[in-house]
Amino acid sequence: MLKCKSILIGVSGGIAAYKVCEVISSLFQEGAKVRVILTETAQSFITPLTVATLSRHQAYTDQDFWQATHSRPLHIALGEEADLLLIAPLTANMLAKLTYGLADNLLTNTVLASRCPILLAPAMNTEMWEQPVIQRNWQQLKLDSRYHTIGPGSGLLACDRLGAGRMAEPKEIIAEIQSLAYTKGQQDFQGKRILISGGGTREYLDPVRFLGNPSTGKMGLALAQAASDRGAVVTLIHGAIAPELLPKSPNYNLISMVTAEEMETAMISHLEESEIVIMSAAVADVKPANYTNYKLPKKELSLNLKLEPVVDILAKLGTLKKDHQTLIGFAAQTGDIVKPALDKLKRKNLDIIVANPIDTPEAGFGTNTNQAIFIDNKGEQKNIDSCSKLELAHRLLDFVKIRALNKV
């Protein structure tokens, strides 16, 4: 998800620092370039060796900051290459320093010498968190649009108390980083209604056997996440997606279905309210002509299965589309990807088509990465090299934005 993204993490001195180790490890697994600054007190909780091992890169401390060097000053170089700076845990002391713009160590100097968004994850004892001075600082800092915040939540604290001040969980922090690293907090699709299809449809022959395809739905999920992170009101109509891939508490509407016919009905019923429609589902092209409502014994299975075509949902949407709506299709192709995609763009009356090679190891069904050529109905093309599906989703939204805004 975070391939090509550079995430800088500033750790200040609190017991929740141990949880940041999980964040560092997960970010590295997600493909991000992870750099970590440890304040002096943070090193009482986690060591530079722990961080270096998890991030596969040296951890930076104040010692590195004060050392003579022939390269660029560290606080400037680190800030410049970061897409996002996470400060976790944010202690009472670090909060006060940020509020008043103090710069007395590597981390606070890096904050002031950079422009990237900053995500703050506070953690402290409830008494400390509820102090009026802390609350004043916190509210003051939130007025600065550069700062984004996560938590603190309530729960059992290291002081054995149940109360507010518990740092957000690593999984929540990762999800927020995924969103912010791409959007930088921008809400450029605010209030736009976007309808997306994803996953594969299944056409059953009997209760256990079906015709389908290996689509995992990752591209549809990435599109839904990207669009809702940018402020859109999103509905994702999806076929088969493994439950563990589905978000636990999505900030968009998820509607599940099985067959192409069900997907068609759902897409059409949501079409009118939608300004942008993206059809990324892998729809089965044919279905068994007959369905048996009991499991067919092997000897009753025909070796010449009678099939019939299923409706082409995208082509149908193309006939129903109004001028203010933008319709986007995908063309999963092997070999030459542009010519057949152009043909589908015209045939299905689309505004944009995403020509998608499925015969390379870094793209297609089930992969975490993808590559594509976006083509619009004026023939303009944009190549997107192999990147995470989330990155591709954001690049597609950038491409859609210019064209969709021209229609308003």
Q: Candidates 174, 240, 314, 327: give the one binding ligand CTP (CB under 6 A).
A: 314
Q: Which residues pair with 8 in a beta bridge?
A: 35, 85
Binding region for ligand CTP (CB under 6 A) out of 3-11, 172-180, 278-286, 293-301: 278-286
285 binds ligand CTP (CB under 6 A): yes
Nearest-approach distance from CB 106 to ligand CTP, in angstroms: 49
Q: Candidates 283, 355, 373, 387: give the one binding ligand CTP (CB under 6 A).
A: 283
CA-angle at 252, arms to 404 and 168, nearest 5°: 120
Q: Look at residues 9, 173, 7, 18 and name the one whose alpha carbon lies nearest to residue 106.
A: 9
Which of 21, 116, 159, 387 is the catalytic position? 159
Relative to beta strand 193-198, strand 162-166 is: unpaired
312 binds ligand CTP (CB under 6 A): yes
**192 vs 344, beta carbon nearer ligand CTP:** 344
344 binds ligand CTP (CB under 6 A): yes
Q: Look at residues 256, 267, 194, 254 and name the one whose alpha carbon lies nearest to residue 230.
A: 194
> How buried is 400 (Cβ within 10 angstroms: 0-12 exposed, 13-18 middle, 19+ buried)?
buried
Q: And the tokens for 51?
A: 């961080």
Q: Are 236 and 220 in contact (CB under 8 A)?
A: yes
Q: And the tokens for 222?
A: 């990435």
Nearest-approach distance from CB 386 to ligand CTP, in angstroms: 19
Nearest-approach distance from CB 291 to ligand CTP, in angstroms: 18
**19 vs 287, beta carbon nearer ligand CTP:** 287
> How buried is 250 (Cβ within 10 angstroms: 0-12 exposed, 13-18 middle, 19+ buried)?
middle
| Residue 254 DSSP SS3 | strand
Nearest-approach distance from CB 279 to ligand CTP, in angstroms: 4
Kind and range of the H or E run holding 395 = helix 389-407
276 binds ligand CTP (CB under 6 A): no
Binding region for ligand CTP (CB under 6 A) out of 47-55, 77-85, 128-136, 305-313: 305-313
**191 vs 335, beta carbon nearer ligand CTP:** 335
220 binds ligand CTP (CB under 6 A): no
User: Which 7-36 residues touch ligand CTP, going by CB under 6 A?
Assistant: none
DSSP string, 117-175: -EEEEE---HHHHHSHHHHHHHHHHHTSTTEEE---EEEE-TTS-EEEEEPPPHHHHHH
Sorted by sequence, the CB contacts under 8 Å of residue 248 that are 6+ apart come out as none
Residue 159 is a catalytic residue: yes
279 binds ligand CTP (CB under 6 A): yes
**130 vs 336, beta carbon nearer ligand CTP:** 336
**59 vs 283, beta carbon nearer ligand CTP:** 283
Relative to beta strand 352-357, strand 326-333 is: parallel
Q: Candidates 16, 106, 120, 260: give the one binding ligand CTP (CB under 6 A).
A: 260
Nearest-approach distance from CB 321 to ligand CTP, in angstroms: 13
Q: State the binding string over 315-334 for ligand CTP (x if CB under 6 A, else -).
A: --------------xxxx--
Residues known to be catalytic: 159
Binding site for ligand CTP (CB under 6 A): 260, 279, 281, 283, 285, 310, 312-314, 329-332, 344
